[in-house]
Amino acid sequence: MSTRATSIWGWGYADKFPEAEARRALGEQVSALLGGPPLEPREPAALDALRLPRPRVAPPEALAALCSVEDTDRAAHTYGKGYGDLVRGFHGDFSSAPDFVARPRTEEDVRAVMDWCGNHRVALIPFGGGTSVVRGVEAAIGDGFRGAVSLDMRGMDRVVEVDPVSRAARIQAGATGPVLEAQLASHGFTLRHFPQSFEFSTLGGWIATRAGGHFATLYTHIDDLVQSTRMLTPRGLYETRRLPASGAGPAPDRLVLGSEGTLGVITEAWVRVQARPRFRANASVHFPDFTSGARAVRELSQSGLHPSNCRLLDAQESFLNGVTGDGSCVLVLAFESADHPQQAKMERALAITASHGGECREGARYRSEEMGSQARAGGAADSWRSAFIEAPYLQNVMVSLGVIADTFETACTWDRFDELHGSILESMRGALERICGGGSVSCRFTHVYPDGPAPYYTFIGPAKPGGELAQWMALKQAASDAVMAHGGTITHHHAVGRLHRPWYDRERPEPFALALKAVKGALDPQGILNPGVLVGP
């Protein structure tokens, strides 16, 4: 594990939180954008001023070596990294802190912690990498428990086995993106699952939350890369057979995927890996408006070309991400392959985008490692990628400036998209005006399917001092209500957690809720695993 310190309250490495002067300069840009008064950067609560409840339970002697009761550890495991988490942490409010943190090194350790929790009516919250943006790792567990333990799996981070013939690897659930990629690289493979949280999130967390990754089409979720799973439940080991496919009853892995820590603790998985891409094609295509861009993306999604990247940014996103500032929408388009050149696919794709008014200003760029060319993709693709990785750091700054800044995402069928998109923009603009006195909302597509897109929205608005959480929740409510009213899903890849639960309950069929409740009762009869998520009160 890295020894570089991570922020207790904010996203990522602590040393990446800018000095006040730099934040003030950013504040000037933001207030210019929002048209409000100058924004003054505030400082997060000092380490010795964090407010945590006294622990209700202590780790037993047998587990003491795995456990930490330190307040800094408890604080760092209190929340995920959603806007509401950052705000509470920034102000030193760690009232949901777990009673202690357990760091298993082996599956036996996990079993021991789980047994102890079950025997002592203590909630067990799998922490993953702690990057949940939906309150998925927060011990908001109600009164039915004597306490709560946060289970930090990052000590179990090895690539245990690689099968080069089937191109698969057995990896422990606590491995973060960089840690598993570094180990796979030594075998000549890559998983190529790059969610925005890549640096800090874990394989187990990806599986538990059905994380969305690198590929804009075809292999969009971690679901598509999972060959088999191994999950420890209070009723025993849930380990599926390694298979490329099966038709034997409902798929057992599909119950693990999306279980969000409520049915067991994922300890390992076999995942499908691949050779590093050697052929690439990149282009950015400008459209006069989002509607024509969306039509082009729809035709691309139904063409069978399967671009690896197909991210349509609206004018505001294009501007905010430094891709272009001329009011056009930009489609960031890429193809990649470890096997064969991608020119023909890109040419066909550009013919499709041109037929919808798209303009490829710089010409497509091709890179083949085989041909020895080291030309960078460049242009919009590069600008977009660096903005993508840095975006969560920017949210830290926004919190310090007193600006509400958050994202939400959904997916819907193409026939509903225009209506859903229009309604979300209208609803969010109205809500920002009403609640914040102004603000901005923008959209991009992160993933696309033959039958619909996954639009991703970013909104910012000035907060009223002290009222940030209530304002943010009102905005979240407006966004989620619009999504649900117009045929979207409450989440395409951010998971349900505690934040999305009310809308999730409306989205799923009622008999499925009964089914899931029954499964929970069968596998976790004491209900200790991540209480309140997906099922139960």
Instruction: Give, as ranges, the residues between 149 and 208 that touch a copy of itself (CB under 8 A).
Output: 163, 165-168
Give the nearest distance from C-beta 405 to a copy of itself in angstroms.
Answer: 22
Q: Does 280 bind a copy of itself (CB under 8 A)?
A: no
Contacting a copy of itself within 227-256 (CB under 8 A) = 227, 233, 235-252, 254-256
Owner of token pair 């083949």 = 368
Q: Does 274 bind a copy of itself (CB under 8 A)?
A: yes
Q: Quick one: 5 or 248, whose CB is closer to a copy of itself?
A: 248
Contacting a copy of itself within 338-367 (CB under 8 A) = 338-340, 344, 348
Residues forming beta bridges with residue 280, ordered by sequence position: 336, 367
Using CB under 8 A, pick the residue from 12, 98, 264, 531 that binds a copy of itself. 264
Which residues have CB under 8 Å from 70's CB, separation 6+?
Answer: none
* Nearest Cα to Cα of residue 59 among 123, 149, 121: 149
Give the nearest distance from C-beta 278 to a copy of itself in angstroms.
Answer: 11
Q: Does 530 bind a copy of itself (CB under 8 A)?
A: no
Number of residues forming the site for a copy of itself (CB under 8 A) = 96
Which residues have CB under 8 Å from 64's CB, separation 6+?
Answer: none
Instruction: Report the DSSP pairing between strands 309-313 and 329-337.
Output: antiparallel
Q: Quick one: 178 or 450, whose CB is closer to a copy of itself?
A: 450
**Residue 225, token pair as written in the block:** 């890369």
CA–CA gap between residue 321 and residue 286 (Å, rounded): 14
CA–CA gap between residue 153 and residue 528 (Å, rounded): 17
Q: Does 500 bind a copy of itself (CB under 8 A)?
A: yes
Q: Quick one: 255 or 283, whose CB is closer to a copy of itself?
A: 255
Q: Quick one: 118 or 438, whose CB is closer to a copy of itself?
A: 118
Using CB under 8 A, pick the residue from 414, 445, 456, 472 that binds a copy of itself. 414
Q: What are phi and psi of 219, to 5 degrees?
A: -105, 65
**Residue 265, token pair as written in the block:** 């603790």
Q: Quick one: 240 or 324, whose CB is closer to a copy of itself?
A: 240
Instruction: Report the DSSP pairing between strands 147-151 and 122-126.
Output: parallel
Which residues have CB under 8 Å from 298's CB, separation 6+?
Answer: 414, 448, 453
Owner of token pair 């041909």 = 371
CA–CA gap between residue 284 and residue 84 (Å, rounded): 34
Give the nearest distance from C-beta 341 to a copy of itself in angstroms.
Answer: 9
Give the nearest distance from C-beta 335 to a copy of itself in angstroms.
Answer: 10
Residue 146 DSSP one-character state:
S
Q: Tell me if residue 29 falls in helix, strand or coil.
A: helix
Q: Does 423 bind a copy of itself (CB under 8 A)?
A: no
Using CB under 8 A, pick the residue from 27, 59, 258, 293 that binds a copy of itself. 258
Q: Does 111 bind a copy of itself (CB under 8 A)?
A: no
Q: Does 465 bind a copy of itself (CB under 8 A)?
A: no
Contacting a copy of itself within 508-527 (CB under 8 A) = 508-512, 514-519, 521-523
